[in-house]
Amino acid sequence: MKRLMILLAATILVSSLATIAVAETKGPKEVKYTPKMGTVTFNHSAHQNRTDCATCHHTGDYAQCKSCHGVDSKAPKAKNAYHKTCKNCHKELKKGPIKCKECHIK
């Protein structure tokens, strides 16, 4: 009985720690896009605490655009969505890159 209680307590502790670790993970620290214009390196960790996830990930959860939109021709193009979201925010805050070669590095 004592072993069972220790095993149960250990299981609860491990699952609690795993749940906390998953809740704290908010995606990668950095994301790289490689369009023809030049590589864009997005510092995800620097942006996570500035706004809620739904600002960029309109569902509120991380998912690639195509996971919901597939190849729907009516869905916004990723390029247009990134440019609109990023540039508009940078212009509004008067902080961050807004010109092509400030993000796209060859």
Could you give all domains of the chain from N- to C-terminal order, each with its CATH number? 28-105 (3.90.10.10)
Q: What is the pTM of this model?
A: 0.65
Lowest mean pLDDT among 6-20, 52-66, 68-82: 6-20
Rounded to whole angstroms, how far apart are CA atoms 18 and 84? 36
The residues that bridge with 41 in the sheet, in sequence order, are: 32
Buried b (16+ CB within 10 A) or exposed e, 51-69: eeeeebeeeeeeeebeeee
- Nearest to 81, CA basis, from 53, 45, 55: 55
Chain-centre distance for alpha carbon 6? 38
- Could you tell me which residue, 17 or 13, shows the higher pLDDT? 13
